[in-house]
Structure 1
Amino acid sequence: MDTHASRVGRFAGQTGPLVGAFMIAVLAACGSGEGGSDESATPSTVTAPTEATTPPEATEEDPVTEETTPYLDPSLGDSSKPGSDSQTTISGTVASGVETGCLVLEHNGTLYGIYGSFDSSVVYAGATVTLHGKVEADMMTTCQQGTPFVVEDAESAD
């Protein structure tokens, strides 16, 4: 009679010596120092430095020039663009997101995920609204849809 137990026993009996030989070869290679390391098998001793080392100080011969100093022009950042810390206004029709309980709004070709504390009688799927708040592009969300927009104030456009 050929049962599952007898088949497993035959398989283990046939492969057992191969697995055992493989493990012995692996362990022997590890113990012999042939594992790719050129270091000897004896542990080395690490000693602490006797005096603290300090980085070399800058001298007059090695000044930092304006050419090597990074410069960031503050006029490059436009605070009126979404994603800045300034308040932004978006408007449109609120829609349900792909995740349950999530709301989105498309404004000027950008899809925004709607977050924050707002009146749910004003902001709901199907409502046409004007939202004031901030874009938080780095905000992690569970809705996983749209650029996060944190609502500070909401007005019905109906």
Structure 2
Amino acid sequence: MRGLAAVLLCLVLASCGQVPPAEVPSSSTPTTDATTPSTPAPLPPSSTPLPTAPPVPTLPTPSRALEPGTTVVRGTVSAGAESGCVLLSNGVAQYLLLGADPAIAVAGAVVEVTGRPDPGAMTTCQQGTPFHVTKTQRG
């Protein structure tokens, strides 16, 4: 008896989702239906090239495998205005690298750093958002 009830329930549910097809009028005069969108005419070919969007800059992206608050940032290293200051630019933001491996984080290198941004930290560099680096690798 349960098997029969289950089969009937499946049939009822299956028939609920079906919608009967709409009837097409058989008159010879064209009619417009508000629910049927009209197809726009194709545009003529243009000799002017379409503008292209600028490349999307790399944003700092949190990693799923990292602790909460830890961030991975990829960008190009440059020397800061003050001696000993190392900056990382990713096209969107500039980070002051604190504790980056000096053998890897050299001016002109593309690197990926893992760590935590600390916008409230006081430094003598006065450039970029301070970023406490826990891992430095070539990008």
Q: TM-score, normalised by structure 1?
A: 0.44
Larger Rg: 1
Q: Which of the pair is proportionally richer in helix?
A: 1
